Amino acid sequence: MLESVFIKSSAFDAFAPLSHETVVMVLPYIDQAMAERAEAILCRRAEQDGLLVLVDDDERMGFIRVANLVYLRTRSPLFGYLAQDAYPGMYWLREGVGLLERTGKGLLAFNEGRFFGTLAAFGLARRAWLARLYRNMLFYPGYHSQYGDTELSAIAYATGQLAFNPNALLIEVDYEKHAKANHAGDDALYKARLAAGFDGLIPAGT
């Protein structure tokens, strides 16, 4: 079964390293009630052994930094990321883990009902693949809250490492999503890094 642990970003110094033999997922959040509701149904519908680390970002570190810190302090063959507004379909994690195990690909895009496999807004990655990109990080650390997943997806797509399973369903439930502006700094950084091929990870201008 999927087990869970709640921590605070202000208490990272006391966060003892955790490990799982299959998968660790990180869920940064700022709304406690939403996180608790999500945690209950995520665990109930996972049908897969794993560890879900929910982080109350009380210090407002931002999604990218929180995810990277949890990635650094955990061990598992697979590592995934999602948010407090995720709503799972049945067997969402079992379906995701199963596809990566069958294909050997580096990154799985969950079906969040928006990008249909072209972008891993919620994703599951193989640590052995991630180690070739940013060493001890999940996302490029220059971003604050956006575009880390976009860059990861672009690299996976360009190198034939992006996988999609429509049955690995994690719907993004955000009724104001299209009314929100992108983070300007993250947007500019992504465009600059894309033009340069993400430090040579893919051909420039891809």
Q: Which domains does the chain have, with CATH numbers?
A: 2-200 (3.90.550.10)
Q: Give me the tens of pLDDT residue by residue for the chain, a chain 206 residues long.
A: 999 999 999 999 888 899 999 999 999 999 999 999 999 999 999 999 999 999 999 999 999 999 999 999 999 999 999 999 999 999 999 999 999 999 999 999 999 998 989 999 999 999 999 999 998 999 999 998 889 999 999 999 999 999 999 999 999 987 666 655 566 789 999 999 999 999 889 987 66
* Residues contacting residue 45 through CB under 8 Å, at least 6 positions apart: 88, 89, 90, 91, 92
Angstrom distance (rounded) from CA 124 to CA 64: 15
**AA identity, residue 115:** F
Angstrom distance (rounded) from CA 67 to CA 69: 6
pLDDT value of position 204: 74
Encoding tokens for residue 130? 């991630």
Residue 121 is given by DSSP the state S
Strand ordering across the sheet containing 107-111? 2-8, 50-56, 23-29, 78-81, 123-126, 107-111, 162-172, 86-88
pLDDT value of position 183: 67
Q: What is the dihedral of CA 140, 145, 147, 152, to 10 degrees?
A: 40
pLDDT value of position 99: 97
